[in-house]
Structure 1
Protein backbone atom coordinates (compact mmCIF):
# COMPACT_ATOMS: atom_id res chain seq x y z
CA UNK A 1 0.00 0.00 0.00
CA UNK A 2 2.80 2.38 0.91
CA UNK A 3 4.50 1.59 -2.42
CA UNK A 4 1.30 2.41 -4.34
CA UNK A 5 1.07 5.79 -2.59
CA UNK A 6 4.69 6.54 -3.45
CA UNK A 7 4.15 5.45 -7.05
CA UNK A 8 1.01 7.60 -7.34
CA UNK A 9 2.86 10.60 -5.92
CA UNK A 10 5.71 10.11 -8.38
CA UNK A 11 3.30 9.83 -11.32
CA UNK A 12 1.50 12.97 -10.15
CA UNK A 13 4.79 14.90 -10.05
CA UNK A 14 5.76 13.68 -13.51
CA UNK A 15 2.35 14.76 -14.80
CA UNK A 16 2.92 18.29 -13.40
CA UNK A 17 6.24 18.78 -15.21
CA UNK A 18 5.90 20.94 -18.30
CA UNK A 19 5.89 19.20 -21.64
CA UNK A 20 9.08 20.63 -23.09
CA UNK A 21 10.97 19.84 -26.18
CA UNK A 22 10.06 19.85 -29.79
CA UNK A 23 9.01 16.42 -31.00
CA UNK A 24 10.28 14.76 -34.15
CA UNK A 25 6.92 15.42 -35.83
CA UNK A 26 7.29 19.19 -35.26
CA UNK A 27 10.99 19.14 -36.24
CA UNK A 28 10.09 17.66 -39.62
CA UNK A 29 6.96 19.76 -40.19
CA UNK A 30 8.76 22.99 -39.26
CA UNK A 31 11.85 22.13 -41.35
CA UNK A 32 14.25 22.41 -38.41
CA UNK A 33 17.97 21.75 -38.69
CA UNK A 34 20.23 20.68 -35.78
CA UNK A 35 21.92 24.01 -35.02
CA UNK A 36 21.12 24.67 -31.33
CA UNK A 37 22.67 22.38 -28.72
CA UNK A 38 22.98 22.04 -24.95
CA UNK A 39 20.24 24.58 -24.13
CA UNK A 40 19.67 24.68 -20.36
CA UNK A 41 19.42 26.96 -17.32
CA UNK A 42 22.52 27.27 -15.13
CA UNK A 43 21.03 24.82 -12.56
CA UNK A 44 20.14 22.30 -15.25
CA UNK A 45 16.84 21.52 -16.91
CA UNK A 46 14.04 21.57 -14.33
CA UNK A 47 16.26 23.40 -11.82
CA UNK A 48 14.54 25.07 -8.89
CA UNK A 49 14.90 28.82 -8.36
CA UNK A 50 13.51 30.96 -5.55
CA UNK A 51 11.75 34.22 -6.33
CA UNK A 52 14.39 36.88 -6.93
CA UNK A 53 17.09 34.38 -7.98
CA UNK A 54 19.03 35.04 -11.17
CA UNK A 55 18.72 32.64 -14.10
CA UNK A 56 21.31 32.26 -16.85
CA UNK A 57 20.63 30.16 -19.95
CA UNK A 58 23.47 28.55 -21.90
CA UNK A 59 23.47 27.02 -25.36
CA UNK A 60 25.67 26.29 -28.35
CA UNK A 61 25.22 27.19 -32.00
CA UNK A 62 26.83 25.13 -34.75
CA UNK A 63 26.70 28.09 -37.15
CA UNK A 64 26.28 31.87 -36.89
CA UNK A 65 22.81 33.39 -37.01
CA UNK A 66 20.08 35.18 -35.10
CA UNK A 67 18.45 33.94 -31.91
CA UNK A 68 15.29 34.94 -30.10
CA UNK A 69 14.52 33.80 -26.54
CA UNK A 70 10.92 33.47 -25.39
CA UNK A 71 9.60 32.38 -22.00
CA UNK A 72 6.17 31.00 -21.13
CA UNK A 73 4.99 30.85 -17.51
CA UNK A 74 2.70 28.22 -16.04
CA UNK A 75 -0.27 30.58 -16.60
CA UNK A 76 0.55 30.93 -20.32
CA UNK A 77 2.01 34.44 -20.07
CA UNK A 78 4.57 34.75 -22.84
CA UNK A 79 7.44 37.26 -22.92
CA UNK A 80 10.23 37.79 -25.45
CA UNK A 81 13.47 38.13 -23.43
CA UNK A 82 15.83 38.55 -26.40
CA UNK A 83 14.99 39.27 -30.03
CA UNK A 84 17.15 38.82 -33.15
CA UNK A 85 20.47 38.70 -31.30
CA UNK A 86 23.18 38.06 -33.89
CA UNK A 87 25.70 35.50 -32.59
CA UNK A 88 28.65 33.58 -34.02
CA UNK A 89 28.91 29.80 -33.82
CA UNK A 90 30.03 28.57 -30.40
CA UNK A 91 28.95 28.59 -26.75
CA UNK A 92 26.79 31.44 -25.42
CA UNK A 93 24.96 32.46 -22.24
CA UNK A 94 21.91 34.74 -21.95
CA UNK A 95 21.90 37.38 -20.79
CA UNK A 96 25.12 38.15 -22.63
CA UNK A 97 28.12 39.33 -20.59
CA UNK A 98 27.94 42.57 -22.58
CA UNK A 99 24.34 43.19 -21.43
CA UNK A 100 24.60 45.78 -18.67
CA UNK A 101 22.19 47.82 -16.58
CA UNK A 102 22.70 50.35 -13.76
CA UNK A 103 23.62 47.52 -11.35
CA UNK A 104 26.16 45.91 -13.70
CA UNK A 105 25.63 42.53 -15.37
CA UNK A 106 22.06 42.15 -16.62
CA UNK A 107 20.18 39.11 -15.30
CA UNK A 108 16.83 37.41 -15.66
CA UNK A 109 15.18 37.44 -12.23
CA UNK A 110 12.64 34.83 -11.15
CA UNK A 111 9.25 36.45 -10.55
CA UNK A 112 5.75 35.04 -9.86
CA UNK A 113 3.88 32.94 -10.67
CA UNK A 114 5.35 29.93 -8.89
CA UNK A 115 5.71 26.76 -10.92
CA UNK A 116 7.41 25.70 -14.13
CA UNK A 117 8.48 28.18 -16.80
CA UNK A 118 9.41 27.14 -20.33
CA UNK A 119 12.15 28.79 -22.36
CA UNK A 120 12.16 28.45 -26.13
CA UNK A 121 15.22 29.45 -28.15
CA UNK A 122 14.57 30.19 -31.83
CA UNK A 123 17.38 30.22 -34.38
CA UNK A 124 17.09 31.79 -37.84
CA UNK A 125 19.69 32.59 -40.48
CA UNK A 126 18.14 36.05 -41.01
CA UNK A 127 16.60 38.54 -38.55
CA UNK A 128 12.82 38.19 -38.21
CA UNK A 129 10.81 41.43 -38.18
CA UNK A 130 7.46 40.18 -36.77
CA UNK A 131 7.10 41.85 -33.36
CA UNK A 132 3.42 40.91 -32.97
CA UNK A 133 4.16 37.31 -32.06
CA UNK A 134 4.54 35.93 -28.52
CA UNK A 135 2.42 38.53 -26.73
CA UNK A 136 0.01 37.88 -23.87
CA UNK A 137 -1.27 34.54 -22.65
CA UNK A 138 -1.00 31.64 -25.06
CA UNK A 139 -2.07 28.01 -24.99
CA UNK A 140 0.51 25.36 -25.92
CA UNK A 141 -1.09 25.15 -29.36
CA UNK A 142 -0.94 28.92 -29.85
CA UNK A 143 2.69 28.96 -28.61
CA UNK A 144 3.55 26.41 -31.30
CA UNK A 145 1.61 28.36 -33.95
CA UNK A 146 3.50 31.56 -33.06
CA UNK A 147 6.78 29.63 -33.21
CA UNK A 148 5.92 28.25 -36.64
CA UNK A 149 4.92 31.68 -37.95
CA UNK A 150 8.15 33.21 -36.61
CA UNK A 151 10.32 30.51 -38.19
CA UNK A 152 8.56 30.70 -41.56
CA UNK A 153 10.49 33.91 -42.35
CA UNK A 154 13.80 32.03 -42.51
CA UNK A 155 15.25 29.38 -44.79
CA UNK A 156 17.47 27.91 -42.06
CA UNK A 157 15.87 27.48 -38.63
CA UNK A 158 15.98 25.55 -35.37
CA UNK A 159 14.23 25.51 -32.00
CA UNK A 160 15.32 24.25 -28.59
CA UNK A 161 13.35 24.24 -25.36
CA UNK A 162 14.14 23.87 -21.67
CA UNK A 163 12.48 24.68 -18.35
CA UNK A 164 13.03 25.71 -14.77
CA UNK A 165 10.75 25.97 -11.73
CA UNK A 166 10.03 28.96 -9.51
CA UNK A 167 9.59 27.89 -5.87
CA UNK A 168 9.17 29.61 -2.50
Structure 2
Protein backbone atom coordinates (compact mmCIF):
# COMPACT_ATOMS: atom_id res chain seq x y z
CA UNK A 1 0.00 0.00 0.00
CA UNK A 2 1.36 3.37 -1.07
CA UNK A 3 0.19 6.75 0.21
CA UNK A 4 1.43 10.11 -1.02
CA UNK A 5 -0.68 12.99 0.23
CA UNK A 6 -0.59 16.62 1.32
CA UNK A 7 -2.56 18.74 3.76
CA UNK A 8 -3.16 22.27 2.44
CA UNK A 9 -2.15 25.07 4.78
CA UNK A 10 -3.02 28.44 3.25
CA UNK A 11 -0.91 30.19 5.88
CA UNK A 12 2.13 28.62 4.19
CA UNK A 13 1.17 29.41 0.60
CA UNK A 14 3.18 32.60 0.27
CA UNK A 15 6.72 33.04 1.68
CA UNK A 16 6.81 35.29 4.72
CA UNK A 17 9.17 37.74 3.00
CA UNK A 18 6.71 38.13 0.09
CA UNK A 19 3.44 38.49 2.01
CA UNK A 20 3.36 42.30 1.89
CA UNK A 21 3.97 42.27 -1.87
CA UNK A 22 1.31 39.55 -2.23
CA UNK A 23 -1.27 41.59 -0.31
CA UNK A 24 -0.40 44.65 -2.42
CA UNK A 25 -1.03 42.64 -5.60
CA UNK A 26 2.58 42.81 -6.82
CA UNK A 27 3.01 39.03 -7.11
CA UNK A 28 1.50 37.17 -10.03
CA UNK A 29 1.68 33.39 -9.67
CA UNK A 30 1.28 33.04 -13.44
CA UNK A 31 4.68 34.64 -13.98
CA UNK A 32 6.68 33.27 -11.05
CA UNK A 33 9.65 31.17 -12.12
CA UNK A 34 9.52 27.41 -11.66
CA UNK A 35 12.38 27.79 -9.17
CA UNK A 36 10.44 30.29 -7.06
CA UNK A 37 7.34 28.09 -7.08
CA UNK A 38 9.33 24.94 -6.32
CA UNK A 39 11.27 26.30 -3.38
CA UNK A 40 9.37 29.26 -1.97
CA UNK A 41 5.65 28.66 -2.09
CA UNK A 42 3.02 26.22 -0.79
CA UNK A 43 4.95 24.52 2.02
CA UNK A 44 2.51 21.83 3.11
CA UNK A 45 2.70 18.78 5.34
CA UNK A 46 3.47 15.84 3.04
CA UNK A 47 2.96 12.16 3.84
CA UNK A 48 4.81 9.50 1.87
CA UNK A 49 4.24 6.01 3.25
CA UNK A 50 5.03 2.70 1.55
CA UNK A 51 3.82 -0.53 3.09
CA UNK A 52 3.74 1.03 6.55
CA UNK A 53 7.28 2.44 6.17
CA UNK A 54 7.11 6.20 6.69
CA UNK A 55 9.37 8.10 4.32
CA UNK A 56 7.76 11.48 5.07
CA UNK A 57 5.26 12.18 7.82
CA UNK A 58 3.65 15.62 7.87
CA UNK A 59 6.99 16.96 6.65
CA UNK A 60 6.64 20.56 5.47
CA UNK A 61 7.89 20.50 1.93
CA UNK A 62 7.09 22.83 -0.97
CA UNK A 63 4.24 21.07 -2.76
CA UNK A 64 5.34 21.95 -6.28
CA UNK A 65 8.87 20.73 -5.57
CA UNK A 66 7.73 17.31 -4.34
CA UNK A 67 5.33 17.06 -7.31
CA UNK A 68 8.23 17.68 -9.71
CA UNK A 69 10.54 15.33 -7.80
CA UNK A 70 8.02 12.50 -7.92
CA UNK A 71 7.21 13.09 -11.60
CA UNK A 72 10.91 13.08 -12.51
CA UNK A 73 11.42 9.92 -10.45
CA UNK A 74 8.86 8.08 -12.60
CA UNK A 75 10.77 9.15 -15.74
CA UNK A 76 14.12 8.15 -14.24
CA UNK A 77 12.80 4.76 -13.16
CA UNK A 78 11.60 4.20 -16.73
CA UNK A 79 14.92 5.22 -18.26
CA UNK A 80 17.63 4.09 -15.80
CA UNK A 81 15.80 2.14 -13.09
CA UNK A 82 16.90 4.40 -10.24
CA UNK A 83 16.02 7.78 -8.79
CA UNK A 84 16.58 9.89 -5.70
CA UNK A 85 14.50 12.55 -4.05
CA UNK A 86 16.64 14.89 -2.00
CA UNK A 87 15.66 17.89 0.02
CA UNK A 88 17.49 21.22 -0.20
CA UNK A 89 16.43 22.16 3.32
CA UNK A 90 18.09 19.10 4.94
CA UNK A 91 20.20 16.01 4.18
CA UNK A 92 17.31 13.56 3.82
CA UNK A 93 17.38 11.43 0.66
CA UNK A 94 14.77 8.93 -0.52
CA UNK A 95 16.29 6.34 -2.86
CA UNK A 96 13.98 4.65 -5.34
CA UNK A 97 14.91 1.64 -7.45
CA UNK A 98 13.02 -0.44 -9.99
CA UNK A 99 13.57 -4.20 -10.11
CA UNK A 100 11.36 -6.69 -11.93
CA UNK A 101 8.29 -4.48 -11.90
CA UNK A 102 8.57 -3.45 -8.25
CA UNK A 103 9.74 -0.14 -6.86
CA UNK A 104 11.91 -0.32 -3.73
CA UNK A 105 12.22 2.67 -1.40
CA UNK A 106 14.89 3.40 1.20
CA UNK A 107 15.44 6.50 3.27
CA UNK A 108 18.74 7.96 4.43
CA UNK A 109 17.05 8.31 7.83
CA UNK A 110 16.55 4.54 8.15
CA UNK A 111 18.68 2.89 5.45
CA UNK A 112 18.23 -0.63 6.81
CA UNK A 113 14.48 -0.53 6.16
CA UNK A 114 13.25 -1.12 2.61
CA UNK A 115 9.68 -1.11 1.41
CA UNK A 116 8.26 -1.68 -2.03
CA UNK A 117 5.20 -1.56 -4.24
CA UNK A 118 4.34 -2.44 -7.84
CA UNK A 119 5.64 0.05 -10.40
CA UNK A 120 2.11 0.60 -11.74
CA UNK A 121 0.91 1.56 -8.26
CA UNK A 122 3.75 4.06 -7.90
CA UNK A 123 3.00 5.64 -11.29
CA UNK A 124 -0.74 5.91 -10.65
CA UNK A 125 -0.21 7.28 -7.12
CA UNK A 126 2.24 9.91 -8.38
CA UNK A 127 -0.17 10.94 -11.14
CA UNK A 128 -3.03 11.19 -8.67
CA UNK A 129 -0.90 13.19 -6.20
CA UNK A 130 0.20 15.63 -8.92
CA UNK A 131 -3.35 15.94 -10.28
CA UNK A 132 -4.69 16.64 -6.78
CA UNK A 133 -1.95 19.21 -6.19
CA UNK A 134 -2.68 21.00 -9.45
CA UNK A 135 -6.43 20.90 -8.77
CA UNK A 136 -5.94 22.39 -5.30
CA UNK A 137 -3.55 25.11 -6.48
CA UNK A 138 -5.65 26.16 -9.47
CA UNK A 139 -8.79 26.14 -7.34
CA UNK A 140 -7.20 28.46 -4.79
CA UNK A 141 -5.19 30.57 -7.24
CA UNK A 142 -6.76 30.45 -10.73
CA UNK A 143 -3.99 32.62 -12.22
CA UNK A 144 -1.40 29.89 -11.55
CA UNK A 145 -2.93 27.76 -14.33
CA UNK A 146 -1.08 30.03 -16.79
CA UNK A 147 2.29 29.28 -15.20
CA UNK A 148 4.59 27.20 -17.45
CA UNK A 149 5.64 25.10 -14.43
CA UNK A 150 2.14 23.67 -14.13
CA UNK A 151 2.04 22.90 -17.85
CA UNK A 152 5.35 21.08 -17.44
CA UNK A 153 3.92 19.02 -14.58
CA UNK A 154 0.96 18.09 -16.78
CA UNK A 155 3.36 16.91 -19.49
CA UNK A 156 5.59 14.99 -17.08
CA UNK A 157 2.70 13.03 -15.62
CA UNK A 158 0.50 12.80 -18.73
CA UNK A 159 -2.55 14.19 -16.91
Please state which band the TM-score falls in when normalised by the shorter chain.
under 0.3
TM-score, reference length from structure 2 = 0.27
Query: Higher strand proportion, which one?
Result: 1
TM-score, reference length from structure 1 = 0.26
Q: Which structure has the larger Rg?
A: 1
Q: Which has the higher contact order (CA 8 A, sep 6+)?
A: 1
Query: Higher helix proportion, which one?
Result: 2
